[in-house]
Structure 1
Amino acid sequence: MSDLGNILRKARIDRKISLDDLQDVTKIRKRYLEAIEEGNYKVLPGSFYVRAFIKSYAEAVGLDPTEVLSMYQTTNPSPVSEQPVVETIRHKRTSVRNAEKMSRWASSLMFVCFILLIFGIVYYYTYKNYKGTPAEGKPSQTQSPRITDSTNPSTGTKPNSNVNASSENKTVPIATPTPSPSPTPAAVQVKFNSNEKGVDNYTISGTSKLDIQMKISGSQCWIRVDALSDGNGKEMLRQKLYKSGDTDTLEIMGSAYLNVGAASALELTVNGTVVPVGDTPNPKRVQLNLQKN
């Protein structure tokens, strides 16, 4: 058994994770996991998959994958010529599909803008013609003579002037101004920034704390949650192997870092906003940066 295999096996046993549980979390066959612990890398499909499997193993048991891969590279240097050809082909296909999607999106946007321009022109001329109708063309309404200024047709006398005086002395009520509504507070925003070194970075603004809700569905999922300090220090808050149907909630007054063993099994919600972590059973790392006002 190699030194690297001993380190990985000891970390797995310390966290009380069996090979069957590790197989469910990493989606790596049990015989490959045993081969990694024994240092028998010839059983694995190739050096590219060896590195990928070792990285997933290390993340699942809470070890730093960079240090573990560096230890493997030191003892088992890989040939320079070996490259993941399959990944290159996938990237090329993805680029072609994205270009086609962008072209269709641009065409649809131009068509919608053209339709809106036509409606705007029609509305402008219709509104202009309506406002241009002369007021003199409208029939005027004949006002009826005021009773106070007319004479009584039967007697030929004018009505009592006291009636006009009393009506003129009436107090006209003054309308009180309606108070303006108070400004509403800014809504909480969860914004994706970038992916650096395999870590998805999000910025959360409009709040003074993080409300993290986790729901496990489909299969088991190992998750570790750390609180981040201003000096990039980490303090572990939660480390657990969750089963399907489990839920968990955390309230953190600062930034946080999540290490997820199987991304497709986790439904992550931050301050009421769903944060996508992926639809594949691969490990995922997410950093939530709280931006306080």
Structure 2
Amino acid sequence: MSHGNFSAKDRPSIGRILQQARIDAKLTVDEVSSSTRVRIPIVHAIEQDDFSRCGGDVYARGHIRTLARAVGADANELIEMFNAQQATAPPPLSSGPLFEAERIRPEPRRPNWTAAMVAAIVAVIGFVGFTFFSGGGGQDAGSVAEGSQTEPAPERTGNAEQPSAEPSPEPSESAVAAVPADKVTVKVTAEGGSSWISAKDSNGGVLFEDVLEEGDSETFTDDEQIDLVLGNAGAVQLHVNGKQIEDVFEMGQVQRLTYTPGDPEEG
């Protein structure tokens, strides 16, 4: 397929690019629908360049971006194609009010936010006034404040909160390091991109099935085995039973892996 001075009909469309990327990733429409929560009829419609089922341009762009991530396509390029396509064709009448609604909605929120701040200030003034008049003096006001235990509480418990917050990361790190020997523990981390991940236990039960965004990680444990499907294996780093897996996968590559308590045997 050449990309010369041909008409838009001769160039690859958004739907065809998404469909080809899904096929290359060896994913079915059902799997993509399950991982993205975009309904199957809408996935089919978008792959046929029918965006009428999306409910407007805003939702169409969101669906295109979500599907592109799931199948490893370039979301920004597809959004640019969609914008250019919408610019050449006059938008339907229904999309006009939709964009107007998007612009108009933030404006009423400002008075509401201002009203909330005014209400909070009034409440503070009322509380101070109540404390002042009920106490009649600085010492009584102090005793009322002590009785309420609302304001002094952070000062008294400030030192107690810090020790309680500090130990919490330590058990989590030690728990990852000291994985149980009689179980299989798999930690999946998305590095250098996002990837669709499916993880199942030894009984075939789904532990996780969704897009893992870059920088996020998930940990799975089972007595016998963990079955993984990595939609974009090149963006995934695996730790099995506390050991990093050194296998180098390629971006866009689909990998189906199974790990047991004894793994990894090598490396």
Q: Give the structure with the higher percent strand.
A: 1
Structure 2-normalised TM-score? Answer: 0.43
Q: Give the structure with the higher percent helix.
A: 2
Structure 1-normalised TM-score? Answer: 0.40
Larger radius of gyration: 1
